[in-house]
Each structure stands twice: as C-alpha cells, then as structure tokens.
Structure 1
Amino acid sequence: MILVTGGAGFIGSNFVLDWLAAGNEPVLNLDKLTYAGNLANLASLQGDARHVFVQGDIGDSALVARLLAERRPRAIVHFAAESHVDRSIHGAQDFIATNIVGTFSLLEAARAYWLTLDEADKAAFRFLHVSTDEVYGTLAPDAPAFTEKHAYEPNSPYSASKAASDHLARAWHHTYGLPVLTTNCSNNYGPWHFPEKLIPLMIVNALAGKPLPVYGDGQQVRDWLYVKDHCSAIRRVLEAGRTGETYNVGGWNEKTNLAIVHTICDLLDEMRPRPDGQSYRAQITHVQDRPGHDRRYAIDARKIERELGWRPAETFDSGIRKTVRWYLDNPEWVQGVQSGAYREWVAAQYGHEGADARTGAAS
C-alpha cells in the first residue's frame, strides 16, 4: 500500500485514478477536503477495496501516526498543499499552516514510522514530496530554463511556502536519512482541475458567456504539463529515483497566457460554437495584473529523461484538446464544484461585481 496525501485534489485524484488503473497496489488516501478537494473526482472508485479514503489533516500528528502504524505503507506521496497564488496573496496563513507546518508534521510522522521498520522495509521506503517550479522565481525571456540546480527565489506567499517545504524535505533526508524524493513540476492542466486556475476558468467562463479575464498584457509565459503525464513521472520517480534527489518535471510547452486563452477559444469555436456565430475571443478582457506576477517559468526536464527515461506523452495540442472535451462532457462536475465556499472566496478576492465578471462563479 502507498499513502497519498491530498488525493482528492486535482493532481492527487488524477494520480490515484491512474495508479489504480495501472496496477492493484492499494492506496490510502488522506485528504482534508478543503474547497479544492472533491470526492466526486474519485466517484469511479466507489466500492473499490483498493482505495481507502480518510478525511483528515496532514497536520494531525496522532491521526497520521495511527494510519501509518495500522496500514504500514511502503511509500508516501505528498500532494497535499494550498496551491493558488491569488489565494495566497489574499491570505497567506493557510499556506503557512498547510505547506510548511503540515509538511513538517508529516515528515516527523514519516520519520518516526520509518524508524520502526525492519531493515529491508526501511531501505525500500520512500517519501515523495511533490512541489512546483514557482520556487525558482521568475525568468527573463531569453534565460535558460530552470534546472534542479537553480537557486530558489520565490516571489509569492504560495511559492515561498512551497520553497520552505522543499527545504524541510531536503533537511529530513540529509539530517535524519529519511529516503526523500522531490519533484518540481510546471503548470498542470487536465480533467478535474478546479475552475479558479487559468485553463478551466477560461473554459467555464466562455461557456457561461462571461468575460475571459487575462492579467495585464497576457504575455506571462508558463510551461504546460498535462496532468496524466505528471502522474506518470511521479510513478517513475517513485519507482527508480535516487533518494535525496530532485527531479524537474515539465511538458516542454512554453506558452503565453494569452496564447493559451486564444487556443481555448478556438477549440470551443470548433467544438461548441456560440449561438451568435462570434468567436469566444470576443469575451477576452484584460484586467489589472496581480501583485508580484512572475513573468516566465520554464522547466528543463532533461535530468528525469536522462536518469529515468521519462518524457511527456502529450503535446500541448493533444492535451488541451482532451481537456476542453472533458469539460464539455462533464458540466455536472463543474456545477458541483462551484459551491458556496468557492463563491465566498471569489467574492472576498474580487468583490461581488468582480466575482461575477471575472469568474462567472458567483451569482
């Protein structure tokens, strides 16, 4: 069995589904079920004995210790995190509590459990810490992509909290010998993505006839990684990664935010044309840029390819087409996640009018 934290969130739920589709090793899924955790993502596993779900907080040391002692997983895959930059700007406390203090608590519980294992199990155990490219800061337009040796220069409360968690994971390996692996991924997209992030927000707003809000000039560059490719990379790192090492995981797809929005509009024009015959591009609205907005991220993923033989299977064109189709085919899921908690946050972030205009999530 493996323990997955945050396994009802976007990347975590995709990982759990892919893991159980690829084999029969059970998953113990620990998720707090905040606004971004959604058991509907895992509905297809209802009644599947290989999936054991526990609602709980990674910071609950007694709960985590009990689960480890009772279930005795051979690995922990740690996704659980607060992950939205805008939310971290509005209120950083939850990010400090979950990403830093929560990761510390989980590392301590894992270390205590690991020390109880016999030598063979101890040698085989892994703690895989899933992180982000945002810890590296921002890149100039012509600068080389981030490698694993790039200095940490986080620029938002979110990325600073993730950078701190990365340092904790590294320290628990080097000080205590805990067999830690770290992955730093680029921007993920795909099914079950909560519609506060760029790609699902644009799809949902477009279909609702709402403005498509683009920060500033829209020329911020990100490297885009289809979520199922990310899941396959994590499986490979868990299987063969060297303990104490960091592996950058990217999609080799640098795109500006505005180009992403244009692509989504063009796909919707093809798949679900507007009744008035106009392009969805007519709904694009440029809004004031957010504070401290990093201009460019780019991942150099040659290390994971060289050492572990991993490369993404999807191009951006194939992945974004699958993603748009998924949202068109799953309107009930979208309606379900646009809950009271989500609407309340949008109202707090943008004000009532801004919530309606920018996200279409508040009524």
Structure 2
Amino acid sequence: MIVVTGATGFIGSNLVAHLNSLGHSDIVIVDWLGNGEKWKNIAKHRFVDFVFPEDLAEFLEKSTDKIEAVFHLGAISSTTASDGDEIIEKNLQCSMKLWRWCTTHQVPFFYASSAATYGDGDLGFEDTADIATLRPLNLYGWSKHAFDRWAIAQAEKQEAPPRWAGFKFFNVYGPNEYHKGDMMSIVAKNHARVIAQEPIHLFKSHRPDFKDGEQLRDFVYVKDCCNVMAWFSEAKRANGIYNLGTGSARSFRDLILAVGAASGLEPNIQYVPMPENLRGKYQYFTQATMQKLKAAGYEARFFSLEEGVADYVRSYLGTSDKFA
C-alpha cells in the first residue's frame, strides 16, 4: 500500500490520480474532508482505505508489513497562519513522527517542503546550498524550514528512511485547487474573469527595474510535480531536498496572457497600486535552480507556462467536470 497524507488536497489529490494512472489502486488516503466539496477531488480515484489523521499512528502499526511508501503532503499550508502551537503539532511534530516510523520500518518517505523556506529570496534559490542561513518570512515557511533542517540532521546521524526526499514546491497551479480560497493560483482566480471579459488586476511595480505586471515567479504545473514525486518512488535516487519548479521565471502578465490564449480571448489587464503593507516585503523574483534534480537523473521535459495553462484551462477550468 502507498500512504498519501493530505490526499484530498490540491497536490495530494493530483498525486493520487497520477498514481492511479500508473496502475496503483492500493492507495491509503489520509485526510479530513470537512463540510465543503473536497470530496470531489478524490471522487474519481481508486483507493483501499480512508484514514483520519488522528487515527494514522494506529493504522500504521496494524499495517506495517503492507506499506511500500509514504507521501507526506498534509500540512497547514496558509502563509497567513498565526497559531504557532497548531503549526508545531500539524506541520512539524507530525512530520517527525512519520519520519521516525519510516526509519524504524525501513519504508521510503517523501514529503512536501516549500519554496517559502527561501524567504525574500535575497540568498538565492539554490537547493545545493547550506539551508541553515535561510530566513523564511512567515510561520508556515518556518515550519517547513525547521523540518528540512531536522531531516538533514537525522540523515547525517544515519537515522533516516532507506529512501527519502523533500520537495520545495514553487508556484504550483492546476486542477483541484478550488477549496483553497485566497490561496488558489492566479489562473484559477482569474479564468472566469477572463471569460467574462472583466478587468484583470495586476500589481504595478514599485521598483524601477521591473515593469508593471512583470514581477516574476517560477510557475510549475501540478502534473510535473506528480511526475517527479512518482519518479522518486519508483527506484533508488539520491536522497535529499530538491527544488520543484521549472527553472524558468515568468511574469504575472505572461500568466494572464496564457489564460487568455487558452480561452481564445484577449484579457483586459489593468495595473493597480500595490498595497502599502506589501511593498516592503513583496518578492519580485523567484526561480528554482533545477540542476540538483537533473543530476539525480530526472530527464523528463516540464510543461512550458503556455502548455501547462492551456491544459489546465481546456481540460479542467473550461469544462463541466473541473476535477482531476
């Protein structure tokens, strides 16, 4: 069996769909559904069990000899989260417990880190550099950074799962993100507005070296993220923490133009002043370095921005069945 925590969430549900497409139906879903429509994220997928997070420890002990791998994607992912105790419990302690269980029982362990660990980006986005100097800007980013540092320390003491990898996701977009509210991608937030020919608001630049709407991000399609994670689980790769972006920064304007092109419409882009409280800490550039992943042997081509947005719009956002 393959255990996937956070399996009804955005990246988790896409991973379950991808594993199904590879012939894996022995998926154990670990998550809560709540009162919304997150159930639709897994409505089409095959799995053998559904476990609430508070019951996971008991389930693992009963199923030790059956578990082939653990993908740990569950976490509080809001960058505005402020309850430090809850973050410690659900983002840090839970990850530590799963790491220790996988170490004891020699089960491969793959987990979600985040590009938020890089903070304002002044120290670059190198996944080969010493991470000790990084300074995340929010509680969520710090929790992922704290576990990254802890995992590396455990590995250095030879107290680690036989195969493991952490993935620093950059700006991921794709199907099954409707439940995320304000944390949805710019594509999901603006597709309906592009179709309705309503104004699309992008921030003006408050730096002379960037034009309005030309702030840059490393936008990565969720299907590429799933391809990479599945690749790591298929055979022994170099253990460690890896960036998961495209290695090519693109502007918010490019992103909206790609939504328009995929919809056959010219978007009505308008530039609005950036709120005063954001100007001092707004990132104008993020871009993953991808040499470490390539050195590990990953050779598959990533979706370009235009290809990924076109697939998202035409296969999901622009259809009656919007779920992967």
> How high is the TM-score relative to the length of structure 1?
0.73
Residues 1:191 and 2:178 are matched in the alignment? no
Unaligned 5+ runs, structure 2: 206-212
What is the letter of the counterpart of residue 321 of structure 1?
A
| Aligned positions of 1:1-363 closer than 5 A | 1-24=1-24, 26-33=26-33, 38-45=38-45, 48=46, 51-57=47-53, 60=54, 63-71=55-63, 72-85=66-79, 87-88=80-81, 94-111=86-103, 114=105, 122=106, 125-139=107-121, 145-149=125-129, 151=131, 152-175=134-157, 176-179=159-162, 180-194=164-178, 195-196=181-182, 197=184, 198-207=186-195, 212-215=200-203, 217=205, 218-242=213-237, 244-268=239-263, 270=264, 279-282=266-269, 285-288=272-275, 290=278, 292-325=281-314, 326-330=316-320
1:19: how far off? 0.5
What is the letter of the counterpart of residue 217 of structure 2?
R
Q: Is the 8 A contact 1:253 1:316 kept in 2?
A: no
Unaligned 5+ runs, structure 1: 115-121, 274-278, 334-363
Instruction: State the identity %.
Output: 22
Distance 1:309 1:332, change over 3 A: closer
CA displacement, residues 276-332 of structure 1 (integer Å, 9 cap, x when unaligned)? xxx431566555263733332111112212222333342111111111222111477
CA distance in 2, matches of 1:2, 1:327: 29
Distance 1:78 1:309, change over 3 A: same
How many residues align? The count is 304
Q: Is the 8 A contact 2:238 2:296 kept in 1?
A: no
> How high is the TM-score relative to the length of structure 2?
0.81
Q: Secondary structure at the match of 1:155?
A: coil
Q: Secondary structure at the match of 2:257?
A: helix
Q: Is the 8 A contact 1:155 1:294 kept in 2?
A: no
CA distance in 2, matches of 1:286, 1:107: 45
CA distance in 2, matches of 1:172, 1:23: 33
Q: Is the 8 A contact 1:145 1:299 kept in 2?
A: yes
Distance 1:169 1:99, change over 3 A: same
Residue equivalent to 2:209: none
What is the letter of the counterpart of residue 33 of structure 2?
L
CA distance in 1, matches of 2:130, 2:198: 40
Structure that is richer in helix per residue: 1
